[in-house]
Amino acid sequence: MTVGANRMIVYLAGPDIFFPDAIEIGARKKALCRQYGIEGLYPLDEPLPTRPTRAETAMAIYQADLAMMHRADAVIANLTPFRGPSADPGTVFELAWMLAHAKPSFGYSTDPRSLHARTPPDGTTVEDFDQPENLMIACALTAAGTPLVVHEDGLTAFETCLEALCRRAAHASTSDRPGI
Amino acid sequence: MTVGANRMIVYLAGPDIFFPDAIEIGARKKALCRQYGIEGLYPLDEPLPTRPTRAETAMAIYQADLAMMHRADAVIANLTPFRGPSADPGTVFELAWMLAHAKPSFGYSTDPRSLHARTPPDGTTVEDFDQPENLMIACALTAAGTPLVVHEDGLTAFETCLEALCRRAAHASTSDRPGI
């Protein structure tokens, strides 16, 4: 992970791509990244591929997103609840993949409630550990030293993640210097 | 991944642990695994750890589950929609983690509809690629050669995954033999 001459690259994961203002959200996030000297990769940066069948189109999108994740040094994931009490599952998949590849991984949510507080009773056990998400997600981030950021304004939460990423990159850069 | 002398170990991921009959579901799955000469690891195999705070208890559970995932040779994930149109996010996290570690990964769902068909309109774009889940999940499994198994009976779907796992293990075992 580098800053300076080699610009750091961060993958911007989230259900943002499904919102009516998906392009604008991506542009705002990428502009914020640039302010920090970071390049943001957003899944909608390129036109969606089209293939003869829907299954082939899906696979082409998957491969394009995976290529971005390979290229990125880090990920910032929007884990705000989406279509239910938890984060978008595609975003969760990408976050876990980046964590498993030991890339610095950050997550944020605009929902200040615990998972338990926001999950309607349905006869199943709702985990009650005062965590902002399912414990596999929340604790994986905590264990990685990057606990899930919660702020009711999404862009503020995103910027908090960007700042943390820069601090980590600066620290890594300093640690790399021989003799210091 | 080995069969025979060294028993293969599979991690049993899913929201099963949140259901009132969680223990019984685990017992049935583990019994099926034994029929195939496989050891199933289920998150409820050990009593849940207790720690002074809820956050510490959550972290202890996370670490215990992660240790099982490290120990396992493969994963079979129940991706049936849970609390919304998509799979349990903890399960998705674990599946992605195992895939990222290149461990044979299988997933099943009891919902025969596509993600698009079962997602209520809410003003956001619902991906329409005739996939059983978010494309990152469905296509990752397809790309790994283990497309998501769909069957309305969960245990039947689970057993289909077990059979596929055994075939893959037998194939890997044969491929390993020098001179063949």
- ipTM of the assembly? 0.95
Strand, helix or coil for residue B78: strand
Number of Cβ within a 10 Å radius of residue B71: 11
Q: Measure in Å the smallest separation between the Cα of B50 and chain A Cα atoms.
A: 11
Identify which has the larger pLDDT, A20 or B173: A20
pLDDT of residue A175: 73
Residue B24 has pLDDT above 80, yes or no: yes
Identify residue A9 by its one-letter amino acid code.
Answer: I
Q: Does B23 touch chain A (CB under 8 A)?
A: no
Q: What does each C-alpha distance from A142 to A81, A115, B84 come to in angstroms?
A: 19, 16, 26
Chain A nearest-CA distance from B35, in A, is 29
Query: What is residue A6's predicted lDDT score, i.e. its pLDDT?
Result: 78
Which of B68, B92, B111, B114 is the mutation pick for testing A, counting most A CBs within 10 A?
A: B92
pLDDT reading at B180 higher than 90: no
Say if the Cβ atoms of B83 and A83 lie within 8 Å: no
Q: How far is A83 from chain B (nearest CA, A)?
A: 6
Q: Transcribe chain A into DSSP letters.
A: ---SSS-EEEEEESGGGGSTTHHHHHHHHHHHHHHTTEEEE-TTSSPPP--SSHHHHHHHHHHHHHHHHHH-SEEEEE----SSSS--HHHHHHHHHHHHTT--EEEEES--S-HHHHSPP-SS----SS-SS-HHHHHHHHHTT-PPEE-SSHHHHHHHHHHHHHHHHHHHHHHHSTT-
Nearest to B72 by CA among B47, B38, B100: B38
pLDDT in tens, A7-49: 999 999 999 999 999 999 999 999 999 999 999 999 999 999 9
Nearest CA in chain A to B129: A54
Provide the pairing of β-strand A149-150 with B149-150: unpaired
pLDDT(B19) > 90: yes
Nearest CA in chain B to A100: B97
A20/B124 CB distance under 8 A? yes
Q: Chain B partners of A93 at a C-beta cutoff of 8 Å? A: 92-93, 95-96, 134, 136-137, 140
Burial of B171 (0-12, 13-18, 19+ CB in 10 A): exposed
Q: What is the pLDDT of residue B178?
A: 57
Q: Please check whether residue A37 touches B, CB under 8 A.
A: no
Do A42 and A12 form a contact (C-beta atoms < 8 A)?
Answer: yes
**pLDDT of amino acid B5:** 55
Chain B, window 141-180: residues with a beta carbon less than 8 angstroms from a chain A beta carbon: 142-143
Size of interface A-B (CB pairs under 8 A): 167
User: How confident is the model over A43-93, as pLDDT tens digits?
Assistant: 999 999 999 999 999 999 999 999 999 999 999 999 999 999 999 999 999
Å from B119 to nearest chain A CA?
A: 8
Between A171 and A111, the more confident residue is: A111
| Average predicted confidence (pLDDT) for chain A | 95
Mean pLDDT (whole number) for A123-128: 98
pLDDT in tens, B124-169: 999 999 999 999 999 999 999 999 999 999 999 999 999 999 999 9
From the list A62, A125, A133, the residue facing B18 with the nearest CB is A125
B119 close contact with A: CB closer than 8 A? yes
Supply the angle between the helices B89-100 and B135-143 in degrees, to the nearest 10: 30
Residue A61 corresponds to which tokens in the numbers above?
Answer: 């999108």
The answer to whether B59 contacts A87, with C-beta atoms less than 8 Å apart, is: no
CB distance from B77 to chain A under 8 Å? no
Q: What percent of chain B has pLDDT over 90?
A: 91
Q: For residues A150 and A156, what is the distance between their CA atoms, to the nearest angstrom? A: 9
| pLDDT of B3 above 70 | no
Residue with tokens 């862009």: A155
